[in-house]
Structure formats: structure tokens, C-alpha cells
A and B are shown apart, each in its own frame.
Chain A
Amino acid sequence: MNAILAIAHKDLKLLLRDKTGFFFTFFFPIIIAVFFGSIFSDNGGKPVGLHVMIVDNDQSVASEAFIAQLEASDEVSVQRSLKEEAVERVRLGKEVAYIEIKKGFGDAQERMFWGAPPEIELGIDPARRGTAGMLQGILMKYGVNAFQKRFSDPSLMRRSIQDSLDGIQSGSTMDDSRREHLTGFLTELDAYLDQPTPNVDGTGSGNGGFGGMNPLVVTARDVALEKRGPQSGYAISFPQGIMWGIIGCAASFGVSLVIERTRGTLMRLRTAPIDQLHILGGKALACFVTTCVLAAGTLGIAMLFFGIRPNSLVLLGISIISISFEFVGIMMLLSVLGRTERSAAGIGWAVLMMMSMIGGGMLPLFIMPEWMQTVSDISPVKWAMIAMEGSIWRQFSLNELLVPWMVLWGIGSVGFLSGVWMFRRSRSE
């Protein structure tokens, strides 16, 4: 045990004296977390929506009201612009999309029952097609809002009917039969609006019209945050920052064993009267302590300065220990695969980057194809992220965390045992 402690103490001392390594191990993850956390959060700590350019070619009361709705929304943040500038910025990839309100938007909204509908053009960056559907949905929502408001307000509705009747009478392009039917329908509708109607809940008496008609009510709720309300983007960026720190830590310690081999110090350790397991145990202990300190320290900063409030410190502590164990095991395996510092570093980063990519550490899992999401189950990063996020903001219970913890310990054990086996085997080469 003394040999393990001596080796761990020596490795930690070496880490602390390597200023660059120390910075990238302990401070870089915090910088990543703060940087991305600030990008994904506004000043109030609430998530920021898509930023889009908006071009108002109608300059009407209706178009202004439509823009005001968008400006007040959480889903998008808009910036007014001329069309040429908007198109250019999207083409250059500086903006996700632009929205052009076509001329005649307001008039078209007024005449609800005939003529061309109000028109909006959505210009989207081809590289961000995934957001096009989302934006269309948002625009439809606010477009429908205008109609809904009109339907539920008898005076506005009556004005629309009257405008439509005037338009139908003066319109020359409509055939007589259609004009007759539409005139009859609108006259009946106008008469209907004179009658008091019950409210939508069936009680009392409304003030006419369609009684606050609402075709569909959709209430959005952040299910993971329902107990505490919304947290900031830092709740997402800090676990990712910690993850990257732990990955870097595992890669560094993996390379350190190869450095010992190439510099000859491993020869001294292997010829000392200690078991081979002590050598690896010392390295593993140093890596474990470093990752735990890194995670705990970074989370401490997140809690002190960025308002992160984990559901349970005990569950979070167990998650951190489990994640550290997992990556110590992976480090053990990586450390025996490389023969030179360069090859070990290359293998380490290639493997860890791949794990991170397919595990959701770089790209969100939800944008990946379904088969890829299934494949991601083999990535240790995925399980580490589940355990960490589950303990910090997904509000996982003890039972829900048991599965990721067991996977983490399983991967760590397999990595550690494989590393020990290969290390022992390398003696006889």
C-alpha cells in the first residue's frame, strides 16, 4: 500500500508542477463550462431562442404586431434588417435564417375569407435545415394567433366580415355562383355574431363571437425542471466541461505511463521489489484523485457562482466517484496500448474523441439517427453524462441512477483488469 501511495503522491506532485498540464486539467474545463454556459444563457439565466433576421416589407399595423409577438417570444430573438443584408448574412452562415414579411401581409390578414393568404418567406441556411421545421412551426403558431384573436373578438370579426363582403361585391374575378354562396355565408355569420354565446367552459354568457375559441391548447413544460423551475445553461455546460476535463485527465495519465516507459523510470519501478499491480494502482489512484478533485472543484464553482443546485449532493458524489472509476479503468487500458508518447497520445485522443462523439459529448444525441442513438449505448461518455446530468438537473432518483452507475463500474472494471493483464503480459515480450 505504501508503494501505491508513493507512486500516486509522486504523480500528483508531477501534475502540480507541470503548469500547462495543471491549467488544462483544472481550469480549462471551467473556462469551457462558463463560456458555453454564457452563450446558451441570457442575463436572466433563461435559455435564449434562435436568433433570426426579420425583414418587414409590409410596414403595416399587422406586420408590426406580428414582429412584436416574435420579439416577445422565448423561442426566437429577432433583429430587423433589410432583405439584401439578411440574405447575405444567412448565405455567409452568420445567421441561421431570415423571415421576410411580404407586402400585403396586413391586407391579407384583414380579408379572412377570400383572396391570397398572408405570406411570409423563410430563408434558411442550408447547413441548418433541421431548424427550418422548427421555425416554420413557430411562425405558424404566431400566424394562427392573429386569426384566433380575430375569431374570439366579435368587433374585429364583424369588421373582417364587412371588409370581406365589400371586397366580394367589388371583386371582378369571382364567379357569380361563388359570390352568392360566400355572401350568404358571411351574412349568416354576421347575424350569428349578434347572439350572445356561452364561454368556452360552458358557464355564463360570453360577449358574442366564438366565445374565446381556441382550436388547440399546447402547454410546454420543462419536465426535468418541474421541481425547481428552470436552471441556467450552466447546468448543461458544467457537466460537459467536467466531462471534457475528465477525458483530458484520463488521456494525460495514460500517456504518463508511456513516458515512464520511454524515459526508463518504469524500468526502475518494475525492478523494485513491488508487485506490478502496485505500479498501476499508484497511477490509478492519482488519476482517480485528480478526476474527483476536478469534478468536485468545478461543481463547487458552479454551485457558488453560477447558481447550480444539484438535487442530491450524495447522489452527485456517487456519480462523480463512479465516473472517475470508469475513466481510471479506461486510462489503464489506453496506457498499455501505446508504445511511444506520440502513439499513446494519438490512441488516447482518438478513442476518447470517438467515445465522446457517439456518446453525446460533442453533438446532442437527439440529432443523431436512431441507429446511432442505439450505438451510443456502448460509449462510456454517454453513461457518464446520464449519471452526471441525472444527479444535477434531471432529478433522477436513486433507482434511476443505479443502472448508469453499474454500467460505469462495469466499464471501469473491464478497462482496469484488461490494462493490468496487458501490463503483466508485456513483461515477457
Chain B
Amino acid sequence: MIALMNVTKSFGKTVAVDDLSLRIEPGEIFGLLGPNGAGKSTSINMTVGLLNPDKGRIAIGDGGSPHDPAVREQLGIAPQALALYDELTAMENLRFFGKIQKMPSGVLKDRVPELLCKIGLWDRRNDRIKTYSGGMKRRLNLAVALIHHPRIVLLDEPTAGVDPQSRHALFESIGELRRDGVTVLLTTHYMEEAEKLSSRVGIMDKGRLLALGRVSDLIASHGGKSRLYAQRADREFFLETDDPMAELVGLQAGGTLLQFKVESPDLEHVFLNLTGRNLRD
């Protein structure tokens, strides 16, 4: 469980996170969605104890502080930056971070190959990672976060700048975490990523949490109407409607439809409706 209670953090006059409250249940994958500069990474940094909030409180697991080493043993983090040592091999990186997580050598001996196979880097295990592609490094970045079987994983923009193949592999890995009952807090500014991976989503902008809930609920409450485009022999139609099927039936009754297209609202629309601008602006 992760709980942020009325957390505020400022840097000088800039309020990076403003009175943020959210609670992530065990085994849940929670997506924190927002544009760059929304306060997502600051929230992650406070959650893992790298930054102290100016106001509010953070509780991890059974209510422990992120500064407590026992709590930190349960945490795994994949920072947005590729936090790896370029001059070391994948194997050496995993071994090193495993030792830092106080894993016994005997356990590491099995765990490192297991993870390397899982992320598809076994064949490249002895190559220095400066020779890896961005996607390979991103996968290793995630593997390092998982080396010690953490119960809570924080992923800061886990698919930033990766190719479709690596993105797919990362989605697979995060899906496995869901199956293993691991609690995941991921930040992203890719709405399809949030929709696909998260059971619940929080939308942040300018340090504030604008909306929180299941993706379908958010779309229903903030996404607006579906957009229907239809073409009949006599004319074209462009409608915004809550029930596109009923509208299509009505249009068909007035004449044969040559073609139509229904655009359902998504998180992009949710963000647009909440902030008045696009997510990638």
C-alpha cells in the first residue's frame, strides 16, 4: 500500500506538488498521468524518500516511512534516467544492485540469470551496457528495480524513448508484476500506456491531482460525448452523442449509410476537458 496524504512540495516559488492525496492498494497498478512538469517525478521522489515533503505525510506498506530501511527493502524503483553503469555488463549491474539490496550471493546466482532471460538480454549478459540500444537499457533499468523481489515498484516513465519491440517487452514485464500481486506506481505521459496498464489513473497537472479513478469512470465523467461521423448519399453528418448506436440507427432509417466512423472519448479527451489543452502540449 502507498498513501500520500496532503503532500506538498515546493522548489523556491514553484509549487511542484500541491496538496496531493492518493492511496494505492496492494496489488494495484496505478498510473499517474500528466504532461512533463506536472509533478509526477517529484511525487515519486517523495514516495521513495529522496525528497521530504514540505507538508503532508507518506506511508508505505503497513504505514512505514520511506526512510525506514525495512520499508525500503520492499521498494523497487526504475528512475526515468537510465540509472545504470555503462562500463559494467548487464550481469555486473544486476549483481551490484542486488548486493546493495542485501541479497545473499547464493540467491543472486540464480536471480540474475532468471531476470536476464526474462528481459531477453541473456545473450548479451557479458557485454558492457554502453553497447546496448536504448530499449535494451530500458529493459535492464526495469530488471534492476525488480532484482530483489520488491512488493512495491515505482516506475518513472518506464517506456520513455523505446522502440515498439522493447515497449511490448516492458508491457509484458509490468503485466507479470500484476499477476504476481506487486503494487505498482507508474508515471507516464502516454495515455495509451496508462489505459493499457493501469487499473486506476490519477491525472496531474501543474502539481495538482485533477482527477482520480478507474479509466472507464474518468472517461465517462470527464471524457465528453462520442463523436460520430457518417455519410449518406444525400449528405454528411458530424455529431457528438452519448449513444452513437442509437444515432446510427436513426440515420440509417433516413437513407442508406455509405460509411461511418465513431470516435469514443479517451484519456486524452479527459485531460483536454480538465485542463483545456492537450496532454502533449
B85 at the interface (CB under 8 A from A): yes
Where chain A touches its partner, the secondary structure class is: helix
Contacts of A265 in B (CB 8 A): 83-85
- Whether B72 and A271, one on each chain, are in contact in the complex, defined by CB atoms closer than 8 angstroms, is yes
Contacts of B144 in A (CB 8 A): 268
Contact with A along B61-105 (1 / 0, CB 8 A): 000001001101101010111111101100010001101111000
Given A6-B96, A6-B99, A427-B52; A271-B75 close (CB under 8 Å): yes
B27 at the interface (CB under 8 A from A): no
Chain A stretch 1-35: residues in CB contact (< 8 A) with chain B: 2-3, 6-7, 10, 13-14, 17-18
Q: Nearest Cβ in chain B — how far from A105, in angstroms?
A: 69
B210 at the interface (CB under 8 A from A): no
Smallest Cβ-Cβ distance to B105: which chain A residue: A2
- Whether A267 and B77, one on each chain, are in contact in the complex, defined by CB atoms closer than 8 angstroms, is yes
- Whether B51 and A272, one on each chain, are in contact in the complex, defined by CB atoms closer than 8 angstroms, is no
| A273–B70 alpha-carbon span in the complex (Å) | 7
Given A2-B102, A273-B102; A268-B79 close (CB under 8 Å): yes
Contact of A264 among B75, B83, B92 (CB under 8 A): B83
Contacts of B81 in A (CB 8 A): 262-264, 267
B contacts with A, residue count (CB < 8 A): 31
Where chain B touches its partner, the secondary structure class is: loop
Contacts of A262 in B (CB 8 A): 81
Smallest Cβ-Cβ distance to A17: which chain B residue: B87
| A18–B88 alpha-carbon span in the complex (Å) | 11
Contacts of B49 in A (CB 8 A): 270-271, 427
- Whether A268 and B69, one on each chain, are in contact in the complex, defined by CB atoms closer than 8 angstroms, is no
B50 at the interface (CB under 8 A from A): yes
- Whether B99 and A2, one on each chain, are in contact in the complex, defined by CB atoms closer than 8 angstroms, is yes
Contact of B73 among A273, A427, A429 (CB under 8 A): A273
| A2–B100 alpha-carbon span in the complex (Å) | 8
Q: Nearest Cβ in chain B — how far from A123, in angstroms?
A: 57
Contacts of A264 in B (CB 8 A): 79-83
Q: Nearest Cβ in chain B — how far from A339, in angstroms?
A: 13
| A267–B75 alpha-carbon span in the complex (Å) | 12
Contacts of B128 in A (CB 8 A): 17
Q: Nearest Cβ in chain B — how far from A258, in angstroms?
A: 14
Given A263-B83, A273-B72, A273-B73; A268-B97 close (CB under 8 Å): yes
A contacts with B, residue count (CB < 8 A): 25
Smallest Cβ-Cβ distance to A6: which chain B residue: B99
Contacts of B88 in A (CB 8 A): 10, 13-14, 17
B20 at the interface (CB under 8 A from A): no
Contacts of A263 in B (CB 8 A): 81-84
Chain B stretch 190-242: residues in CB contact (< 8 A) with chain A: none
A428 at the interface (CB under 8 A from B): yes
Contact with A along B40-52 (1 / 0, CB 8 A): 0000010011111
Smallest Cβ-Cβ distance to B99: which chain A residue: A6
A274 at the interface (CB under 8 A from B): yes
- Whether B92 and A428, one on each chain, are in contact in the complex, defined by CB atoms closer than 8 angstroms, is no
| A6–B103 alpha-carbon span in the complex (Å) | 12
Smallest Cβ-Cβ distance to B92: which chain A residue: A13
| A271–B79 alpha-carbon span in the complex (Å) | 11
Given A3-B99, A13-B92, A18-B87; A267-B79 close (CB under 8 Å): yes
- Whether B52 and A428, one on each chain, are in contact in the complex, defined by CB atoms closer than 8 angstroms, is yes
Smallest Cβ-Cβ distance to B69: which chain A residue: A273
Contact of B100 among A17, A18, A268, A429 (CB under 8 A): A268
23 contacts between A and B (CB under 8 A): A2-B99, A3-B99, A3-B100, A7-B100, A13-B87, A13-B88, A14-B87, A17-B87, A17-B128, A262-B81, A263-B84, A264-B79, A264-B80, A265-B84, A267-B79, A267-B81, A267-B83, A268-B83, A268-B97, A269-B100, A272-B97, A273-B101, A427-B51
Q: A268-B144, A427-B49 are in contact. List 10 more A-B contacts (CB 8 A).
A: A6-B96, A13-B92, A14-B85, A265-B85, A267-B50, A267-B81, A268-B77, A270-B49, A273-B70, A274-B69
Using CB atoms and an 8 Å cutoff, list the residues of chain A in contact with chain B.
2-3, 6-7, 10, 13-14, 17-18, 262-265, 267-275, 427-429
Q: For the complex of A and B, list the 6 residue pairs with the smallest distance between their C-beta atoms, beginning with the closest.
A: A264-B83, A264-B81, A273-B69, A6-B99, A264-B79, A17-B87
